[in-house]
Structure 1
């Protein structure tokens, strides 16, 4: 690979998107190439290096799922046993879900439990408290009915199962079962365990002219731990990815999970209603992508100012990670990854589909409000076109100097899928699925992996 050319192109893209730094790691045939470009912090101007530690965000879910599969290998846990086998007091509003939800539902985001866990605090009992707080949590959708991404709750329940089985806290489990055996030196799950002399600082952006500013929130709350709080380096992330390329073995030869566990994680899949932005299926702690006929496994992650990407290409023996302390922008990561993939002679990321102007849709079937806690989407027909209005979180609107309501036009790709282009230079085109027609009206809106049921439906 022409590292010099890729570094130069990465520098150009960082400047174009006003992202302070990026670290890139490429694992191919067991060999790692890594490099970093930019600065860790716009205030201190300290350079990013290959030892810089970034926040992985939701890529953490892949780490947590991998550790859970160790317990499955050991016969201490099972994917399809009820959660209540391990947590007898587990309860949500729906009695059937309380009795029937399994770890598999949690790992593939089909449990449908509303993320209504309040403030569980920052103590060592955080995941136990989260479970206590969801005793009255309703269903966003019936158990197993559709995919709907759970940012924190689903994997927090998995973590609590792990704690009860293993007898230690989730953070210690991750350290002793994964970080240590993998030989990682820059990976941890608690902010206080991060070497601040190596840590990247998160950045947000209000405008390209102003450029990035330091994020007001240094780390996500501890409730996000199993779903979003791993910190790591590009090389350490690839050490984890190596397990999927080598049938469960680490690069040091140590077996982390069985080959059967890797097959289960990659082949136990559910369909994703919006298949275009990330991938058409979701496995256990992994997104399943289809790149021109080649199956690729992935997971992304975002915190408040840092972003992570992981792509694993088993057929090509390649894994690539991209860690940044600014963004996120899908177009940025796609350009960087495609530069690397093309240089390696590998398959590249497909483009989004084109709108189909010949479609003749009954626009009234899509109209209505769709919402979940913290998000509301209003779809209405206007002049023969569909428009979507997003109610932006007020705090996010203030920090980023954005209006609290933003309207987009929806361009149909099919009867259930739409493109949502933006006039904002800081936003990329997104994709939306509106589906589940009941009595002529759609029941769900799915975007950015999250499912939003029709309000009052």
Structure 2
């Protein structure tokens, strides 16, 4: 990130957590400041009201200039501002990391993308209309397997299991109590269970924990210094971070869920990161720094994904999705929701990057659209 501070003096804007900008001295700098103001105003608007206590975003323009913006507060009790180096739980933005490792194993000849899951996890995937002998690895990563989500585990209320530890096989077992959503390849439906199975596949093939493989093959390889997988039993967020909040209704009470057992997400949603690191990851991925051309092409081959997000027209590849833009075209990204935080992000092939985090999940469709619109503003202005 690049921010200007005259003579080392920390301005009121910096103390408030907003991006720091000097007085523009040319037409080009004035235009840059105008773009900055639009992005900052959109974050300020998002943090207004009772929906999102804190907001954090990192944006990079085509020329390589990066800025990190904040709005709102990091803590509803102390009212301290959001720090620009804050880490957050990124939820389903973990899935592209997991998919990348699976595709690396495909490139190494250790996994067949169109081989049945049964080959790697024999006897595990069995249920009503669910048969691992007929479901491929590609269909897991693409969400076209027809395997239901394990979300019924939350039926009795999230707060009751906030500190519960889950083994991956337990989540798979919950999902397999349900009937298949459709025959393999006959539809598209987002299911976290697909990525729990992908994580188990990684462990079976490598003989190592999926957390270790993601760290070695992705995080360390491209130098993501603020991204990590919490260890077993670790319910905290290391380093600077805002508080995460949870409520079930728009006007409900905000419950602090910063300290939480993240195992319910595992290979589908356990990572902690920053908006800046998410930008670095997706840019490195698209630049071919993590996958060979054949595997990257497979990852970016998309299918229609009805109901993927509040933005219409999104499509899904293998752990990555398209994000339609109001200024034309689309960005590549994913997004993630986990209790206490939501992240939305996108990078374009012409060098624009934006990643946004809010410190509470939306409780209404309108709020979800507001987050998506703020990301769009960051990429299009």
TM bin (shorter chain): 0.7 to 0.9
Structure 1 residues 317, 91: closer, same or farther in 2, change over 3 A?
same
Equivalent residues in 2 for 1:12-411, closer than 5 Å: 12-16=45-49, 18-29=51-62, 30-94=64-128, 97-116=131-150, 122=165, 126-131=167-172, 137-150=178-191, 152-190=192-230, 192=234, 195-204=237-246, 213-216=254-257, 218-219=259-260, 221-246=262-287, 248-249=288-289, 256-267=290-301, 269-274=302-307, 277-278=310-311, 279-291=313-325, 294-314=329-349, 316-328=350-362, 329-343=367-381
Deviation at 1:24, TM superposition (A): 0.8
SS class of match (2:335): strand
CA shift for structure 1 position 161: 0.3
1:273 Cα deviation from its structure 2 partner:
3.2
Shift of 1:12: 3.2
CA distance in 2, matches of 1:37, 1:78: 45
Unaligned 5+ segments in structure 1 are 250-255, 344-457
Q: CA deviation at 1:211?
A: 8.0
Distance in 2 separating the partners of 1:332 and 1:96: 37
Moved over 6 A (4+): 117-121
Compare 166-175 and 114-123 and name the one that shifted more.
114-123
Partner-residue secondary structure (3-state), 1:144:
coil
**2:291 alignment partner, SS class:** coil
Q: Residues 124-143 of structure 1: CA distance to partner in whole angstroms, max 9, x if unpaired?
A: xx224444666655312222
Q: Is the 8 A contact 1:297 1:312 kept in 2?
A: yes
What SS does the corresponding residue of 1:15 show, helix, strand or coil? coil
Q: Give the TM-score of the pair, scaled to structure 2.
A: 0.77
In structure 2, list runs of 5 or more residues that go unmatched: 1-31, 154-160
TM-score by length of 1: 0.65
Contact 1:201–1:214 under 8 Å retained in 2? no
For the residues of structure 1 that align with 2:279 and 2:208, how far apart are their CA atoms? 26
CA contact (8 A) 1:215 1:304 kept: no
- Could you say which structure has the greater relative contact order, defined with CA pairs below 8 angstroms and 6 or more residues apart? 2
Correspondence 1:6 to 2:39: yes
SS at match of 1:322: strand
Contact 1:53 1:186 in 2 (8 A): yes
The answer on whether the counterparts of 2:56 and 2:84 sit within 8 Å (CA) in structure 1 is yes
Answer 1 or 2: which has greater helix percent. 2
| Other-structure match for 1:450 | none
Taking the aligned partners of 1:276 and 1:177, their CA distance within structure 2 comes to 29
Give the 3 Å change call, closer, same or farther, for CA 138–111 of structure 1 in structure 2: same
Q: 1:50 to 1:67 in 2, by over 3 A?
A: farther
* Paired residues of 2:341 and 2:361 also in contact (CA < 8 A): yes
* Residues 1:238 and 1:143: Cα distance change in structure 2 (over 3 Å): same
Which protein has the bigger strand share? 1
State how far apart, in whole Å, the 2-side matches of 1:336 and 1:105 are: 32
